[in-house]
Amino acid sequence: MTEAANFAGTAILTFGRYSSEGSDRSAAAGDYYLSASEQTLAAQVIAAGFENVVVLFNVGGMIDTSWFVDNNGIDAALMAWQSGMEGGNVMADILCGDVNPSGKLTDTLAKAYTDYPGSSNFQTGTYVDYEEDIYVGYRYFETLPGMAERVNYEFGYGLSYTEFEISGITARQDGENIAVSATVKNIGTKYAGKEVVQAYYSAPQGVLGKPAKELGTYAKTRLLAPGESQTLEMSFPIDRMASYDDTGRLDDGAAEACYVMEAGDYKFFVGNSVRNVTQTAYIYTLGDYVITERLSHQAVPGMLQKRLLADGSYESLNADIPYVEYYDVAAAGRTKIEMEAFQRAHPEIAVERFLYPNGDRGYCAAYFNTVGNWVEYDLNVEQAGYYSVNLSAANAYAEVTNAFGVYVGGEQQPGISINLPNTGNSELGQWYNFVEVPAFKIYLPEGRCVLRFANNKTGVGNLDYIALERTEIPPNYVIPVPAVGSATFESVNTAFQHADVRTESFVENGVTKTCLAYMNTVGNWVSYFLDVETAGTYDLILRAANGRAAVSDFISLELDDTALPSVSITCPQTGDGSGAGQWYNFVDLDPVSVTLPAGRHYFKIVSRSDRFPNIN
């Protein structure tokens, strides 16, 4: 390195970073920060005794500048970005002085990676919460208290081989525009150059909150020789200074989904960076707010829980969701519980905002995307008993059967199979077309208890509310088995069932009925509560339909979690499988004998075959 310094007066340190889709910056050495070898190289070059040391960045994104911003061993820094196949020639022209640079930073270069507002949750999981809202880039650093001191190079910054003076700065209203004028003079004595004049506005904070400054317009001079001047005339529309009222905060919602200019003073600043500016004498003033554009809500963000405000605090986006310590469940009438107002939830569960068809804002519980995700509600039940439950749900995928398990006090409630129909198109984002699914029944003890919903499937839909109402009619999952005669019960009246088992509807003799389906995986099962009057041997007869070739020995039986002696049942082919109707030609199969003790018992049917028929 010493030999190189003896040979050349200038050293150019070039640092490159790979940048593309999916190659985001991370707070790691060799990425946002210099690697150990790069630090060593830089130290060696600085110590070698070159007359000039230039740092050149061939990068496509942000990179650390703190190591050289106050380093007297670095004489110049050139941000080349990714300038393409002619970039080498361009950089050579600039470094050799054949071209005088006039570029300006379109980003803010902060002192540390952690100074950027998105760094706290960026690259921490599969989902990023952009809580900084409108306060990104210079809007963040120039607005948030204490963040101006965390900047190495501000937005709009850029040096030249000459110096410029900006004078004669004025601003005025020109019809529907703000017109800005400034005179630029090259006050250097050696080099011609170009300067970029930038005009910023500062809107009143008002109700909506605003950045301290926002770029309104800019213009670049022609190539000015030493001593030469040029007056630049610029303008931008007045309504560019409007802000979007997305939640109806202004005037009790009168400007919701509108671009609005709030009342107050609008100030203007002109210079050659966001920091190096002069305020104009002219101020644009509004006595009342003005709606500049009225729109309607589209693609409303739903998962974001909070967003940043200009003073550094956060605004809750779920402020309309009241805190509820517990829900009083009345003995008479309907008790409605909003699903988003849960007491506890799995970490992946989120609250999403949406609009009802009438335009009212709503909230729902969402992201039941993993088996076992759950929400819990603390109840205070006035009277013990059975309660009918109506669940309002939306599902933009195909129908999901047996979507949720329901638990009271940690015990799963029997006889429940919640099927969520398709209510919208996922590609169109139709996740909020809520419908009430068929009611089911649960037993609630008197007093305090915990109600839990846990999803049995992946990709289950969104939940809006549940409604509880006490009923004198018990559920039908307890099946009486008389000592004389027979007990015929629907296969779908299960106590519990495997998550993959589902029900299907069919028409028989003009009557719509329901059957048990998708037992066709070994180990799938359904269970029933039997109330046996007298101990003895009973004939079990299945009514089944099979669209394939005959299948034998497709079930095993358990009683109170104990295997019963093996049974041999054959289901003939009852349809050709060519269509849905061919799977519902039900016939009674030959009986098999089972021994049942008296009393209540847990009876389980387990699949032993991948060719299990439908059971009616």
Average pLDDT over residues 514-521: 88
DSSP 239: G
Q: How many CA atoms lie within 13 A of 239 on its CB side?
A: 11
Q: Which helix (H) or strand (E) holds 237?
A: strand 229-237
Of 115-129, 223-237, 258-272, 279-293, which range is least confident? 115-129
At 407, list the tokens.
């638990």
Q: How far is CA 285 from CA 83, 172, 173, 268, in A?
A: 43, 12, 11, 12
Cβ burial 19-46 (10 Å sphere, 16+ → b, else e)? eeeeeebeeeeebbbbeeeeeeebeebb
The SS3 assignment for 253 reads helix
The confidence score (pLDDT) of residue 303 equals: 67
Q: From CA 47, how far away is CA 11, in angstroms rounded? A: 11
Q: Is the pLDDT of residue 451 over 90?
A: yes
At 110, list the tokens.
């902060």
Q: Is the pLDDT of residue 1 over 90?
A: no
The confidence score (pLDDT) of residue 124 equals: 65
The confidence score (pLDDT) of residue 319 equals: 66
- Binning pLDDT at 50, 70 and 90, where does residue 429 land? confident
| Pairing verdict, β 290-294 and 462-471 | unpaired
User: Percentage of the chain surpassing pLDDT 90?
Assistant: 70
At 556, list the tokens.
């095993």
The confidence score (pLDDT) of residue 467 equals: 97
> What residues contact residue 362 under an 8 Å CB cut-off, 6+ apart?
353, 354, 355, 356, 432, 464
The SS3 assignment for 3 reads helix
Of 44-58, 287-301, 331-345, which range is least confident? 287-301
Q: From CA 272, how far away is CA 155, in angstroms rounded? A: 10
The confidence score (pLDDT) of residue 23 equals: 75
Q: Which helix (H) or strand (E) holds 341?
A: none
Type of residue at 155: F
* CA-based end-to-end distance of the chain: 86
The SS3 assignment for 376 reads strand
At 382, list the tokens.
């006035």
- Binning pLDDT at 50, 70 and 90, where does residue 361 land? confident
Q: Is the pLDDT of residue 268 over 90?
A: yes
- Binning pLDDT at 50, 70 and 90, where does residue 580 land? low
Q: What is the pLDDT of residues 362-371, one digit of tens each?
A: 899 998 988 9
Q: What is the pLDDT of residues 50-102, one digit of tens each?
A: 999 999 999 988 899 999 999 999 999 999 998 889 999 999 999 999 999 99
Q: Is the pLDDT of residue 576 over 90?
A: no
Of 61-70, 124-133, 150-159, 217-226, which range is least confident? 124-133
Q: What is the pLDDT of residues 380-413, one digit of tens each?
A: 999 999 999 999 999 998 888 889 999 999 999 9
Domains parsed from the chain with CATH numbers: 1-99 (3.40.50.1700), 102-315 (2.60.40.10), 327-471 (2.60.120.260), 478-615 (2.60.120.260)
Q: Which helix (H) or strand (E) holds 86?
A: none
Nearest in space to 143 (alpha carbons), one of 282, 151, 315: 151
- Binning pLDDT at 50, 70 and 90, where does residue 204 land? very high
The confidence score (pLDDT) of residue 300 equals: 74
The confidence score (pLDDT) of residue 417 equals: 84
Nearest in space to 459 (alpha carbons), one of 375, 396, 417, 376: 396
Mean of per-residue pLDDT scores for the chain: 92
DSSP 366: E
Q: What is the pLDDT of residues 532-561, one digit of tens each?
A: 999 999 999 999 999 989 999 999 999 998
The confidence score (pLDDT) of residue 496 equals: 85
Average pLDDT over residues 447-466: 93
DSSP 44: H
Q: Is the pLDDT of residue 299 over 80?
A: no
- Binning pLDDT at 50, 70 and 90, where does residue 126 land? low
The confidence score (pLDDT) of residue 356 equals: 83
The confidence score (pLDDT) of residue 368 equals: 92
Nearest in space to 144 (alpha carbons), one of 309, 266, 265: 309
Sheet holding 614-615, edge to edge: 502-508, 511-517, 614-615, 543-545, 587-588
